[in-house]
A = this chain, B = another copy of it.
Amino acid sequence: MLGIPDSEFHRGDAPMTKEEVRILTIAKARIEPDAVVYDIGAGTGSLTIEAALQAPKGEVYAIERKPEAVALIHENADVFGVAGRVHVIEAEAPDGMDALPPADAVLIGGSGSHLADILAAADERLRTGGRIVMNFITIQTLAAAIAWLRAQKAAYTYETIQIQVSRLRQVGPYDMAKAENPIYIVTAEKKADIA
Query: What residues of chain A have their CB less than 8 Å away from a CB belonging to chain B?
Result: 1-3, 20, 23-24, 27-28, 30-32, 54, 113, 137-143, 146, 150, 159-168, 171, 173-182
Contacts and interface: CB of A to CB of B under 8 A. Distances in A.
A161 B30 CA distance: 24
Given A176-B138, A179-B179, A161 B1 contact: no
Contact of A166 (B167, B174, B182): B182
Nearest to A157: B170
Given A23-B27, A161-B168, A137 B179 contact: no
A30 B54 contact: no
Contacts of A3: 24, 27-28, 30
* Most B C-beta atoms less than 10 A away, residue of A113, A159, A166: A166
A175 B139 contact: yes
Given A139-B160, A140-B173, A162-B168, 7 more contacts: A1-B30, A20-B163, A138-B177, A139-B177, A146-B175, A160-B175, A164-B165
